[in-house]
């Protein structure tokens, strides 16, 4: 409803006189209204996320097996950068990005620097920096050797053999640190306190690439003994060359990728004694030489059956003196077994085999009374897969570990 003009004129005239008297009474009410409006418009800032780094900052002589963990409370980790000396430390976040863990144990005697950032609600951010040092161990263990060599091309049966400089007591810890990336399922098998062997469940597929990384640095292998450094090798699986030796038919057939590449009349062990009997089973080519010196086992010069010869184009297939090699006794090859346990072939064919053989090529021998022991050379394929798993420190529910005489056929 509109106010009449006369009334508006009266209020305009009276307001200057009335305002001084009314203001003291109205002021408290006006202030209360303003404060209420301000309180209603205030912005509440949530608390900043909390970051916890383990080991704690400033810690010294940290056991390497402690590991490195970064946690965020009240937010998500947006960045974690950790350095061991100058080397970036690999690690992974959990699905919620509230936890980051270093992938492997810590390097002994090393200063670590960690920088972490976490973000909470309304983009409130926390940044934390930390540093600590790991202990210097009393004793160190290192990788003494790895077979195959880095960059080598191998046969489809090739094992990975790792030897250590000291006996390993905590085999499970060391085995967990051995990372194999390749095209086939496989497992480790301990053959002694300083040696562990990896074998695929089935032969490697030809053309596959395999990499072993021994994340040994910081692994507690025994009381007071820690891994000194990491080690890695990468190798390639070559063509599938598999040889079958039938000692009864006196023939060796070599197949490459399933096709017959060579048929070789051979002469195997004459079997007059155990050491002169060729072993039956799944052998692997181990090394080769041209020539190789061969000396009769357990005999001295002048004894019956003594020999000391240089043999050409010899490919070793066991640790009991068995080779596939050249010998110019064509009269016996393909007809009768007269050797001292080796498989001999015509010089030209033996040379062909020598030139084409890679370490890890299967040589399957049949027809003799002496079986190849699983730990004679690289006879690892003599063990079935369950028996192979029994030698792993991480397979507590596996079958009992095989004895030295176990020779069951691989499945």
3-state helix, strand and coil shares in percent for the chain, rounded to the nearest 5: 15, 40, 45
Q: Pairing mode, if any, of strands 186-192 and 195-200?
A: antiparallel
CA distance to 307, 314, 316, 387, per residue, from 291 (Å):
15, 7, 12, 37
Contacts of 142 (CB under 8 A, 6+ apart): 164, 165, 216, 227, 228, 229, 231
Cβ 306 vs Cβ 271: under 8 Å: no
- Residues in the chain, total: 411
Return d(Cα 331, Cα 336) in angstroms, integer: 9
What does the block give as tokens for 95? 């699905």
Would you name the residues annotated as active-site residues? 325, 342
DSSP for 326-337 reads: E---TTTTTT--
Q: Which residues pair with 370 in a beta bridge?
A: 279
Cβ 193 vs Cβ 167: under 8 Å: yes
Nearest alpha-carbon partner for 382 in 372, 392, 390: 372
**Structural element, H or E, at residue 265:** strand 259-267
Where would I find the H helices in 269-408?
A: 347-356, 385-389
CA 80 centroid distance within chain: 25
Cβ 160 vs Cβ 145: under 8 Å: no
Residue reference for tokens 């004129």: 9
């Amino acid at each position: 409803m509109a106010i009449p003009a006369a009334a508006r004129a009266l209020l305009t005239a009276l307001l200057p006189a009335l305002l001084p008297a009314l203001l003291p009474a109205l002021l408290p009410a006006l202030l209360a209204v303003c404060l209420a409006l301000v309180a209603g418009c205030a912005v509440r800032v949530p608390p900043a996320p909390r970051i916890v780094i383990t080991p704690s900052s400033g810690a010294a002589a940290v056991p390497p097996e402690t590991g490195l963990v970064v946690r965020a409370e009240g937010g998500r980790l947006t960045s974690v950068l950790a350095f061991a000396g100058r080397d970036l430390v690999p690690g992974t976040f959990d699905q919620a990005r509230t936890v980051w863990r270093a992938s492997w144990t810590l390097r002994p005697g090393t200063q670590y620097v960690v920088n972490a950032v976490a973000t909470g609600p309304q983009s409130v951010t926390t940044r934390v920096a930390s540093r600590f040092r790991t202990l210097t161990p009393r004793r160190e263990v290192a990788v003494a050797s790895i077979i195959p060599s880095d960059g080598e091309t191998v046969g489809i049966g090739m094992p990975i053999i790792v030897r250590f400089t000291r006996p390993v007591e905590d085999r499970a810890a060391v085995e967990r640190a051995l990372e194999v990336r390749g095209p086939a399922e496989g497992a480790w098998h301990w053959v002694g306190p300083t040696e562990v062997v990896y074998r695929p469940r089935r032969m490697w597929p030809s053309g596959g690439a395999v990499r072993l990384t021994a994340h040994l640095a910081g692994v507690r292998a025994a009381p007071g003994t820690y891994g000194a450094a990491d080690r890695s090798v990468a190798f390639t699986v070559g063509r599938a060359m598999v040889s079958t030796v039938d000692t009864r038919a006196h023939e060796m057939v070599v197949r490459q990728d399933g096709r017959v590449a060579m048929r070789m009349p051979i002469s195997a062990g004459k079997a007059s004694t155990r050491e002169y009997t060729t072993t039956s089973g799944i052998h692997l080519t181990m090394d080769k030489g041209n020539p190789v010196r061969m000396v009769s086992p357990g005999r001295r010069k002048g004894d019956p059956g003594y020999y000391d010869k240089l043999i050409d184009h010899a490919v070793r297939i066991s640790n009991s003196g068995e080779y596939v090699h050249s010998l110019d006794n064509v009269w016996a090859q393909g007809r009768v077994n007269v050797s001292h346990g080796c498989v001999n072939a015509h010089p030209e064919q033996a040379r062909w085999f020598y030139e084409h053989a890679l370490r890890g090529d299967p040589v399957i021998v049949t027809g003799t009374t002496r079986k190849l022991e699983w730990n004679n050379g690289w006879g690892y394929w003599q063990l079935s897969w369950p028996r192979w798993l029994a030698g792993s420190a991480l397979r507590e529910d596996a079958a009992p570990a095989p004895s030295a005489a176990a020779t069951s056929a691989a499945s």
